[in-house]
Amino acid sequence: MPSSRIFSGIQPSGELHIGNYLGAVKNWVALQRQYESFFCIVDYHAITVPYEPEDLRRRTRDMAVSLIASGIDPSACTLFVQSAVPEHTELAWIFNTVTPLGELERQTQFKDKSGRQESIFAGILNYPVLQAADILLYKADLVPVGEDQVQHLELSREIARRWNTRFSPGYAAHAADDESKRSEATSPETGMPAGPSADAAEVQGFFPEPKPLLTPTRRIMGLDGKAKMSKSLGNTVGLVEDPKDVWEKLRPAVTDPARVRRTDPGTPEVCNIYQLHKAFSPPETVDHVAVQCRTAGWGCIECKKVLFENMESELAPIRARVSDIRADEPKLDRILADGAEKARSVARATIAEAKVLMGLA
């Protein structure tokens, strides 16, 4: 089996917080040498919501700094900014012509976002088409993402199938043949052929159907314990935040509500601090924490102090690397320019072939 290619994208939201670090980036770091990897800061996606140009420029750069400081190694993978590779938007346009409008309107993220805004721009609707283009431009077959992106990836597969059915040599005939043998493979929503299943497909389409590689860490809740950690909710801990500020946030953070008094025993599984221990503390400590919580051996503050120490051992080196990277801006420019050039050489080839198959070249 040929080694798989992975692609993933992250919004240029500025510096990472521990939610997106644990939920996505730490996983990328673990995968980057296992697969041929493309990691992209998706600034064209970011402009589908209102923004300030100077702010976007800064957030894009801060994200690049955070990623490298977290261990994304530009010599092991391809790290780049989406808008530096114009083929992304070129393929997105092509995909717009094979994407059913109904599928876009059905996306939950579109429904959420469009419900919250007064005027809606077409970019919000077409957001997942650009995402499909991101992935398929590199013919990536695996996409490390969290649960919230699964629906977007389903649509990416649908787009790949539709394009392949129309333009990939031999694919449509094979799909039809496959269909007659497996008539149950019809999409319940559309009543359209769902296309050949991966195991039945002997004829490879020009574009592979990308599958999610779900992040092992469950989603990280904010320190209010109410919702997913997210910048817009203001419940984050920054990856490069000053340790004093981190402790100021950690100290009052919500724990198991059953532990009202110091002597009340708790249930670690319902406590957000315990979840953070699982992400940052060594396994022996995690076990010890669970026992101390259940027996009220420790108070929550003691438990948080231990967590804080373990967070510090992981985050202090990242902070140090951030300072180093910031001290050499021209080097960062070179890294991103090299990444874009590496990405472009793959992207150009895909677009050139696709255009020939479509009668555009």
- Indicate whether 346 belongs to the interface with ligand TRP (CB under 6 A): no
**Burial class for 316, CB neighbours closer than 10 Å (0-12, 13-18, 19+):** exposed
How far apart, in whole angstroms, are the C-alpha atoms of residue 302 and residue 95?
54
Closest alpha carbon to 149 in 27, 331, 59, 233: 27
Q: Tell me if residue 5 falls in helix, strand or coil.
A: strand
43, 87, 134, 158: which one binds ligand TRP (CB under 6 A)? 134
Which candidate in 26, 181, 211, 228 is catalytic?
228
Check if 231 is active-site. Answer: yes
Token match 């649908």: residue?
158
Nearer to ligand TRP among residue 145 and residue 246 (C-beta): 145
Query: Applying CB under 6 A, does 165 fall inside the site for ligand TRP?
Result: no
**Least distance to ligand TRP, CB of residue 10, Å:** 6
Q: How far is CA 311 from CA 240, 267, 281, 316, 324, in A?
A: 11, 22, 8, 8, 20
The answer to whether residue 44 forms part of the interface with ligand TRP (CB under 6 A) is no
Q: For ligand TRP, which stretch binds (CB under 6 A), given 6-14, 90-98, 183-191, 288-296?
A: 6-14
67 lines the binding site for ligand TRP (CB under 6 A): no
Closest CB to ligand TRP among 148 and 177? Answer: 148
**Residue 208 binds ligand TRP (CB under 6 A):** no
Block residue for tokens 């050499």: 328
- CA dist 65 to 47, 160, 328, 339, Å? 20, 33, 11, 14
Q: Which residues contact 53 (CB under 8 A, 6 or more apart)?
A: none
Which residue, 134 or 178, is less far from ligand TRP as judged by CB? 134
Closest listed residue to residue 156, CA positions, set 225, 83, 220, 205: 205
> Under the criterion CB under 6 A, does residue 99 sit at the interface with ligand TRP?
no
**Binding to ligand TRP by residue 275, rule CB under 6 A?**
no
The size of the chain, in residues, is 361
136 near ligand TRP, rule: CB under 6 A: no
Active site residue 355: no
Tell me how far the alpha carbon of residue 286 is from its chain's centroid: 27
131 binds ligand TRP (CB under 6 A): yes
Single residue of 5, 6, 8, 303 touching ligand TRP by CB under 6 A: 8
Interacting residue with ligand TRP among 5, 17, 45, 344 (CB under 6 A): 45
Nearer to ligand TRP by Cβ, of 130 and 273: the residue is 130
Asked if 42 interacts with ligand TRP (CB under 6 A), we say yes
> Burial level of 49, CB count in 10 A (0-12/13-18/19+)?
middle
Q: By CB under 6 A, tell whether 135 contacts ligand TRP.
A: yes
Give the span between the Cα atoms of 204 and 175, in whole angstroms.
10
Stretch that binds ligand TRP, among 60-68, 100-108, 130-138, 197-205 (CB under 6 A): 130-138
Number of H helices, E strands in the chain: 15, 5
39 binding ligand TRP? (CB under 6 A): no
Residue closer to ligand TRP (CB basis): 150 or 176: 150
Residue 305 is a catalytic residue: no
* Angstrom distance (rounded) from CA 9 to CA 12: 9
**Contact pick of 77, 145, 271, 279 for ligand TRP (by CB under 6 A):** 145
Report DSSP letters for 156-197, one per residue. HHHHHHHHHHHHSTTHHHHHHHHHHH-TT-B-TTT-SB----
Out of 211, 231, 305, 342, pick the active-site residue: 231
Question: What's the CA gap between 306 and 216, in Å, rounded?
Answer: 23
> Which residue sits closest to ligand TRP, CB atoms considered?
9
Q: Which of 22, 68, 136, 143 binds ligand TRP (CB under 6 A)?
A: 143
- Kindly tell me the burial class for residue 86, based on how many C-beta atoms sit within 10 Å of its own C-beta (0-12, 13-18, 19 or more): middle
Q: Cβ closer to ligand TRP: 10 or 240?
A: 10
Q: Is 89 in the site for ligand TRP (CB under 6 A)?
A: no
Q: Which residues bind ligand TRP (CB under 6 A)?
A: 7-9, 11, 42, 45, 131, 134-135, 143, 145, 149
Which residues are known to be catalytic? 113, 228, 231
